[in-house]
């Protein structure tokens, strides 16, 4: 259970980093790619998938 909670914290951390990269990126293609990658992290953190 503790390891599972740590994994959720890691997923949330990577989610925040990816979203920050989306905001800061000047390259639109890269920004969209960040969003695509972000999707599974958000779904996991919200316990949807």
Cβ-based burial of 15 (10 A; exposed 0-12, middle 13-18, buried ≥19): buried
Closest separation in Å from C-beta 39 to other proteins: 7
The Cα 15–Cα 6 span in angstroms is: 14
Write out the binding residues for other proteins, residues 19-48 only, by CB under 8 A. Answer: 22, 26, 28, 31-32, 35, 38-39, 42-44, 46-48
Q: Please, what is the minimum distance in Å from the beta carbon of residue 38 to other proteins? A: 8
Spatial distance between the Cα atoms of 26 and 35, rounded to a whole number of angstroms: 14
Instruction: List contacts with other proteins (CB under 8 A).
Output: 3-4, 7, 22, 26, 28, 31-32, 35, 38-39, 42-44, 46-49
């Amino acid at each position: 259970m503790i390891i599972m909670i740590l994994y959720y914290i890691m997923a949330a951390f990577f989610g925040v980093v990816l979203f920050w990269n989306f905001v800061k990126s000047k390259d639109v293609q890269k920004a969209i790619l960040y969003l695509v990658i972000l999707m599974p992290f958000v779904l996991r953190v919200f316990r949807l998938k």
